[in-house]
Amino acid sequence: MPRLSRVASVVGLVTFAAAVVAGSGQFCDRRSSRGLTRPGLAMQLAASREDVEQVIGMKVWCPGVAPPGVWPECLANAETLRAQQWRDFVFIPLYVAFLVLVALVGWRTGRGGRLLVALGIVAVVVAGLADVRENLVILTILGPYPVCDVMPRPWALLKWRLLTLALLAIVVPLARGEPEIRGLARWAGRASAVLAVTTAYFSGAQLLWSDDTYLESALPTLAATVVTTWIAVCGHAWFPGGLLAALEVLARRPGFRRIAEWPPTQ
């Protein structure tokens, strides 16, 4: 299992880098009609042509839509969102692979319920497919020949709800932990479970009250869940006995002993 955990930790690190690249870009300062402040999320949750126009700040010239009489002031959002969707095609398989690997780590432990872990794997794979479909819909809307009778909102909602479910199922084994896992890895696993429940609360509130701002509030806790899950997996891979114990072992190695003993005592 340490080898699987090490692969998961490396894939997780690459996933974080891809997330930063995929989410980069300049946006105009706009608020969507649904009260969302993140243009990327607002575009994902757009349910009509008017919602799309509110996000990108310009007319969408779908068939039967008259050209605007005044040219829009905001032109950056459409180009930035278009670039983000293309970069997202690289990010999607990475986050799916990372979460599946984490689930397999939990599967190997057998302490979280293998049926629950299997549910998490299915949920994250289907969420990735929904994410791909969502990107294709957005690219079509922002393309030269937009189609306005298909909107990304249903696919985005499916994606976010499945990701919430997947995280809840996947972090259970990390939260319960193994007897030999101690220190930072164990506490990170428990923290990931608390954060996953918090994310589920916001996602459930959006579903209950149809208020998209709850889903926007869930994004930081979802990101924190993934980060703490990665820390827990790194603990399984590199310092199952605790971070301090691992540093002590590292300090005894010839290549690091001189650094650990510097400055020399008189």
Give the model confidence (pLDDT) of 205-233 as tens digits: 999 999 999 999 999 999 999 999 999 99
228-258 pLDDT, tens per residue? 999 999 888 888 776 655 555 555 666 666 6
pLDDT grade, residue 78 (50/70/90)?
confident
> What span, in angstroms and rounded, lies between the C-alpha atoms of 172 and 187?
13
| Residue 180 placed within a domain | yes
Reported pTM:
0.88
pLDDT grade, residue 71 (50/70/90)?
very low
24-57 pLDDT, tens per residue? 988 876 667 788 888 999 999 999 988 888 888 8
| Residue 212 placed within a domain | yes
To the nearest 10°, report the CA torsion of 126, 130, 136, 142. -160
Q: Which domain holds residue 215?
A: 2-260
| Residue 147 placed within a domain | yes
**Which of 29-52 are b and which e, b meaning 16 or more Cβ less than 10 Å from the residue's Cβ?**
ebebebebebbbbbbbbbbebebb
Q: How many domains does the chain have?
A: 1
| Residue 121 placed within a domain | yes
- Helices first, then strands: H and E counts in the chain: 10, 0
Rounded to an integer, the average pLDDT of 53-82 is 72
Q: Which residue has the higher pLDDT, 35 or 202?
A: 202
| Residue 266 placed within a domain | no
Radius of gyration of the chain (CA): 22
| Residue 185 placed within a domain | yes
pLDDT at 72: 53
Residue 96, classified by CB atoms within 10 Å of its CB into exposed (0-12), middle (13-18) or buried (19+), is buried
| Residue 81 placed within a domain | yes
Number of Cβ atoms within 10 Å of the Cβ of 92: 21
| Residue 265 placed within a domain | no
Q: Is the confidence at residue 67, as pLDDT, over 80?
A: no
Q: Which residue has the higher pLDDT, 99 or 1?
A: 99
pLDDT at 66: 58
155-182 pLDDT, tens per residue? 999 999 999 999 999 988 777 766 667 7
83-137 pLDDT, tens per residue? 999 999 999 999 999 999 999 988 876 565 788 889 999 999 999 999 999 999 9
